[in-house]
Amino acid sequence: MSRFDGRSVLVTGAGSGIGWEMAAAFLAEGATVYAADIAPAGCPDGTNAVPLDVSDEAAFGSIVQRILSDTGRLDVLCNNAGVGSTADPLTCTVEEWDRVFAVNARGAFLGIRQALPPMLAQGSGAIVNTASVAGLVGLRDRTAYCASKGAVIALTRQVAIQYAGTGVRCNCICPGTVDSPWVGRLLDQAPDPSQARQALIDRQPMGRLGQPREVALAALYLACDDAAFITGTELVIDGGLLAG
């Protein structure tokens, strides 16, 4: 028997990278997976691909209602959708700040807000938010990104304490540098993308970048029954970067 047989899972940002691997992994473990993305055509085969702008509360609510109509329950929410920013405090515009927070922080809040009622009603549920090591330490040229991911970590802790003992758990994962399409797009903006990639590899104690599936499997662990005594924590998956 697979770990998520009979369970319904919603993954946001499932069109590529870490979110794609999350959706595929939950599907392989027997879940009914709703894979949401701004461009859902890229979501894994076998999932229920749905379009979603995570900053839109009504759209988020419609998807949750569809899941409840289809399956009668919502067991796991992975708030994974995110956007990046490569600006310092002087070059980060108010518009860019608001855009990053709308997806990274507001999106996580709206997902939690929509998922909590059915989870509390059924007395069980797991929320896994994708934060970042950038929410734990300061990184150059990541003003809005660091701040938004720090907000996700703080939100995770608050929700975990608010609902401890109800059967609903809330945790977050904090990836380091992962070899994903998202990181690839950032590297493409560098004057020398290959040199920039090598610089990222060189700063890794393990001598390589993380893989999206490695991060996805960490999310699966936090969502499964084996992690029943874990709530309010941030699981760092960074190849030893923060330990150095």
In degrees and rounded to multiples of 5, residue 39 shows phi and psi of -130, 80
Q: Are 42 and 16 within 8 A, CB to CB?
A: yes
Neighbours of 219 (CB within 10 A): 29
Q: Respond yes or no: is residue 145 known to be catalytic.
A: yes
Q: How far apart are CA 133 and CA 139, in angstroms?
A: 9
Q: What is d(CA 238, CA 213) in angstroms, rounded to the nearest whole number?
A: 13
* Catalytic residue numbers, as ranges: 145
